[in-house]
Amino acid sequence: MSVLVFIETDNGAVKKTSQEAIAYGAGVAEKLATTVTVLALGQITQDALEQTGNFGASKVFHVTDERLNQENGMAYADALVQAAQKEGSKVIILSKSGLGDAMAARAAAKLKAGVVSGITELPDIEGGFTVKRSIYTGKAFATTAIQSDIKILVIRKNAVEAVAGNHIATVENFVPELKDSDFAATIEKIDKMGSEVSLTEADIIVSGGRGMKGAEHWQPLLDLAEALGAATGCSKPVSDLDWRPHHEHIGQTGIKVSPNLYIACGISGAIQHLAGVNGSKCIVVINKDPEAPFFKAADYGIVGDVFEILPKLTEAAKKLK
């Protein structure tokens, strides 16, 4: 009756958010005096599967069906349900993402499970099973009791720290029964964003707004991002003006992020943008307007011209390396 953790992969490697999911699962398993089983679908290296043990997994179910090399929420959910039934899992854990939320909803319906998304801490199992989750786009938290026999937990990034240990997980081939109807829709083409660092996976994000004054003035921001090994983002007006690609748009109608460090350059801090970044552990705001709303949400603020400040930060970052 192990805790079951679904992991997402990228180019044959386990995503950082999924490493955190395994570590979270290990924390839950310790409370329940059981172990962690990981479910991996599609193309992933044997070494990556075994290394999930470093984050707390004891065993891995690997589904090698080539049809699952591309994300398919319906087929993935079926595989998740069958893995949970095989293991007798009462707690199932996924990372919060478009795929994770879709799978959790489908699996909950099939398993008659309670599902909670946006979880930020390990559950409290004293006298029941309660979890803390983020609500109102991260402005508040709610404590939710799950009373169903099977529980599906969808965790936010940084819910726990994924600290690598030194343990190898055993890998088993798992063959779920997949329906042809699950593959009625197929992916014909995938266009990947140009940035080497995914916004949803990034530990550090450097983001710009209209204060950057135009696409031709973006280089100082890119230089800082490169020095920090960060992903780049932007506000909605910037993407609407085509200064930056739309996949970098962060906010309520764009991508919601939860990095360890978010650096906002020339962004005023409209509520729609704040809704996309308030899951960040630390927010640094650079703006020449001392009355910019973003300063109220910032952990650190720098009042000044971004074009003077960014090169100095880049130089300092390079010296630290």
Residue 303: strand, helix, or coil:
strand
Q: Is 249 annotated as a binding residue?
A: no
User: How far does CA 60 lie from the centroid of its chain?
Assistant: 21
Residue 170: strand, helix, or coil:
strand
Q: Is 270 annotated as a binding residue?
A: yes
- The Cα 125–Cα 35 span in angstroms is 16
Q: Is 267 annotated as a binding residue?
A: yes
- The Cα 321–Cα 316 span in angstroms is 9
Q: Is 287 annotated as a binding residue?
A: yes
| Measured CA distances, 120 to 95, 135, 170, 277 (Å) | 11, 10, 29, 15
Q: Is 244 annotated as a binding residue?
A: no
- The Cα 263–Cα 36 span in angstroms is 36
Which contiguous run of DSSP H or E holds residue 239?
Answer: helix 236-240
| Measured CA distances, 197 to 54, 132, 228, 229, 248 (Å) | 23, 29, 11, 8, 11
Of 21, 24, 71, 314, nearest to 186 (Cα)? 71
Which contiguous run of DSSP H or E holds residue 300?
Answer: strand 300-303
Q: Is 273 annotated as a binding residue?
A: yes
Q: Is 266 annotated as a binding residue?
A: yes
Bridge-based pairing of strands 140-145 and 130-135 is: antiparallel
| Measured CA distances, 246 to 76, 204, 235 (Å) | 28, 19, 10
- Known binding residues: 210, 266-273, 287
- Known binding residues for FAD: 210, 266-273, 287
